[in-house]
Amino acid sequence: MTALDRVEPHPGYHRSRWPVECGGNRRQKAVSGRLDAADGQPTVVSRQDDKWHVMVIEREPGEFFVGGTMAHFTGAPPFGWVERIDPDTLAPLTESGPLPCGDHVWCGAILAHANGSLLSVNGSYLHRLDPTTLTVEAERQLPADRSHNGLLALADGSLITKDLRLVGQGGTTISRLDPDTLDLVSDPLILPEGSMGRIASDLRDGIEHVVVPGTEQVFTIVVDGDDWTLADNPPRYRTPDGPGGLAWDSCLSGGAAWLMDCGDIESVRMIHHQDPNGRWAEHPGRALSWRQPAPWDAPQRLLRVDLESGQVDDIAPFGEPGGGIIAPPVVFPERELAIAWDSINGGLAGVSTGDGLDVHWQLDVRPTMQPVVYPDSGELVINDFTDEGADDLVVVDVDAGAIVSRASTGSRIANGMFLSPGPERSVFYCSTLTLARVQWS
């Protein structure tokens, strides 16, 4: 498999190398080409404001949009927003204005659709925006009045999204909508469990297989035309009284869903046990930090869940109790290598996947983010939240297990948001209060 095979254009999206979070529905986060960071010096452009920046996508070549929300955990009502930005200065060229979110505070998603529009999900609302003016062309309040995370387009152009629920909060609602009218294509599908992680999807023989990590099992929804059904016998990655926590998103590769557990850390539980999600009369302060001790003694695990046989393989690369994360893993299938980390305790690991799961290398860094990978050059770009409280970007040579470049983003807040490829050997960085672009030349 080559990098170009992994980023083949998808019929549901505007023809772009990065039209949606993680670059595509399998969430492999792979971009064609090379960064070659070891042969250059990083230059950083950084913008600080009052916004929670979630992700950058590309529509036409050189046309970049950033979407996010407001971190209004108290006080003024929160709202979603989308901007078209100048990729050099990061200045907004066009702005959507406030987008209703149902008063929920959580990171949503944006995408560039094949119909030409931009789509934005935030809180319990979905919006279709004109890509030139960013005016609202359609608005839909979603069936579940909770925060939604993740928005994908399927091959037929229909949109799919889900709400976020933890243990004991009922079954997660999956909604499928028309990309033009935002009307429901069919009745919502209710999973038998809650779900925290974002959805992924794989198109096999013309049939969509949508993968949703539950609180105990990994569900597959088979979408065939207008029909969609839950596949039988979902694999179980944890037991109700298991030692660890819930999985975030999956990365689909080689017929398997790759996950990390231990994701429902204390701050996540606090946000999603509020109604509306993430809103308080008084700010919880440092209790909202992901640096709080984990609510379990288990170490961080990487899991490979075979979606055909149901077999689950796992490894605890670091072995330190009380592990925790706020983002999913990534896989280099060309190199038979998976990348995992522990955000609470620190540590980044390359795990060999060819014959079982074995730790190949480890680095003393503290990642939290959704990375970008360059399979052609074997480079991983991810953040490192340092002991000094600075959030850097590091580029890792995954063959050698070595950091080959480091850049300061100017951010003092790390979270689980998305890195995205920019123009000319550059990467966009999104976090609360900071948007940055790092270019190697």
* Confidence (pLDDT) at 3: 42
What is the C-alpha to C-alpha distance for residues 352 and 341, in angstroms, rounded to an integer?
14
* Confidence (pLDDT) at 6: 53
Instruction: Name the amino acid, one letter, at 160.
Output: I
User: At 204, phi and psi to the nearest 5?
Assistant: -120, 120
Nearest CA to 31 out of 332, 384, 274, 250 is that of: 332
Q: Give how many domains the chain has, as a whole number.
A: 1
Per-residue pLDDT of the chain (441 residues; tens, 9 = 90+): 444 345 567 999 999 999 999 999 999 999 999 999 999 999 999 999 999 999 999 999 999 999 999 999 999 999 999 999 999 999 999 999 999 999 999 999 999 999 999 999 999 999 999 999 999 999 999 999 999 998 999 999 999 999 999 999 999 999 999 999 999 999 999 999 999 999 999 998 889 999 999 999 999 999 998 899 999 999 999 998 888 999 999 999 999 999 999 999 999 999 999 999 999 999 999 889 999 999 999 999 999 999 999 999 999 999 999 999 999 999 999 999 999 999 999 999 999 999 899 999 999 999 999 999 999 999 999 999 999 999 999 999 999 999 999 999 999 999 999 999 999 999 999 999 999 999 999
* Whether the predicted model's global pTM rises above the 0.75 cut: yes
- Residue 382: domain span: 3-440
* Confidence (pLDDT) at 8: 62
Nearest CA to 439 out of 423, 426, 422, 421 is that of: 426
How many CA atoms lie less than 13 Å away from 34 in the CB half-sphere? 10
- 117, 130 in Cβ contact below 8 A? yes
Q: What is the DSSP string of 249-269?
A: --EEETTEEEEE-----HHHH
CATH code of the domain covering residue 74? 2.130.10.10
3-class state of residue 160 by DSSP: strand
